Amino acid sequence: MLTGGRIDFKGVVFDFDNTLVDTKTTIQEAYKIVFSDIAGRFNLDKENLISSANRFQEEKIKELSKSKASYDHAQWIGEITERSGVNLNENEKDYYKNLFYSYFLNNQIFSDKTEWLLKELKKDGKKLALLSEKDSIPGLKAERINKVPFHGYFDIVVIAGETIPFTKVKDGSKAFTETAKLLGLSTTEVVMVGDRLDLDIQNAKESGMKAVLFTGYIKSNEKSRYDPDFIINNLTDLSRIL
């Protein structure tokens, strides 16, 4: 939904997962590596195991989306394998946890236009923030953010549950209000760009921000009492509305 008009603003707050980086694809690839190894080691059908893992993950994400809880993929690997009749010992669990998160950390996917967009916004004098939730492993989200080549364009990086410990997730407007404050702006001067209707759009709007829904990596299935001001499928479309 790109209609006429532009948003008057002084700052932009970006979500990280499935907005600036294609986390869904990276997780799927990490699962393939882990469960291909498990299938070979324990003589299981690889394709069936990977399919079961993807279904399990989708079910868990739907379930946890309601409670806004973090996703613990290391725990899920053990549960998925157990469903297939194999009980991993502690050393094996640690091995596959490290295998998963090593791939997850070092193989983040993002558009080659992302850095261009952030650079253009900075040249135009805009303040930039990154607002994300913590990962299941303490410190991992900050490490992942520092791994992307465009992390230096952000004036502030806010990780709910770590940078701002008073809120564990981006649930409610508090994290958004605090992020605007850290930028030195009022929420009415800030635009939020994120992929989730319930966490990104609804809470940004409740804080007083304008909100842009990004659907380039996943389609939002959540519900919100608020409509986004714009819906975009490509981050570069922001240059037409901001």
Question: Are 149 and 178 in the same domain?
Answer: yes
Q: Do 175 and 190 meet the contact criterion of CB atoms below 8 Å apart?
A: no
Q: Say if 6 falls within a structural domain.
A: no
- How many separate domains does the chain show? 2
pLDDT surpassing 70 at residue 67 = no
Q: How confident is the model at residue 228 (pLDDT cuts 50, 70, 90)?
A: very high
Spell out where the chain has E strands: 11-14, 127-133, 156-160, 190-194, 210-214, 230-232
Question: Are 32 and 93 in the same domain?
Answer: yes
Q: What is the pLDDT of residue 2?
A: 43
Q: Which residues of 145-170 are buried (b: 16+ CB within 10 A; e: fewer)?
A: beebebbebbebbbbbbbbbeebbbb
Q: Say if 3 falls within a structural domain.
A: no
Stronger pLDDT, 180 or 165, i.e. the higher one: 180
Report DSSP letters for 139-199, one per residue: THHHHHHHHSTTGGG-SEEEEETTTBTT-SSS-SSHHHHHHHHHHT--GGGEEEEES-III
Q: What is the pLDDT of residue 190?
A: 97
Question: Are 198 and 87 in the same domain?
Answer: no
Average pLDDT over residues 116-126: 95
Q: What is the CATH number of the domain that holds 212?
A: 3.40.50.1000
Q: Which residues pair with 232 in a beta bridge?
A: 214
Residue that finishes a domain, picked among 52, 76, 106: 106
What is the pTM (predicted TM-score) of this model? Answer: 0.90
Question: Are 99 and 117 in the same domain?
Answer: no
Angle formed by the axes of helices 23-42 and 90-106, nearest 10°: 150
- What is the domain extent for residue 190? 11-22+110-241
Question: Are 124 and 53 in the same domain?
Answer: no
Question: Are 79 and 132 in the same domain?
Answer: no
Q: Say if 120 falls within a structural domain.
A: yes
Q: Say if 187 falls within a structural domain.
A: yes
Range of lowest pLDDT (67-71, 175-179, 189-193, 194-198): 67-71
Q: Say if 2 falls within a structural domain.
A: no
Q: Say if 5 falls within a structural domain.
A: no
Q: What is the pLDDT of residue 170?
A: 62
Mean pLDDT, rounded, of the chain: 90
Question: Are 232 and 115 in the same domain?
Answer: yes
| 73-99: pLDDT as tens digits | 888 999 999 999 999 999 999 999 999
Q: What is the pLDDT of residue 113?
A: 94
Question: Are 74 and 177 in the same domain?
Answer: no
Q: What is the pLDDT of residue 64?
A: 66
Question: Are 167 and 152 in the same domain?
Answer: yes
Q: Say if 1 falls within a structural domain.
A: no
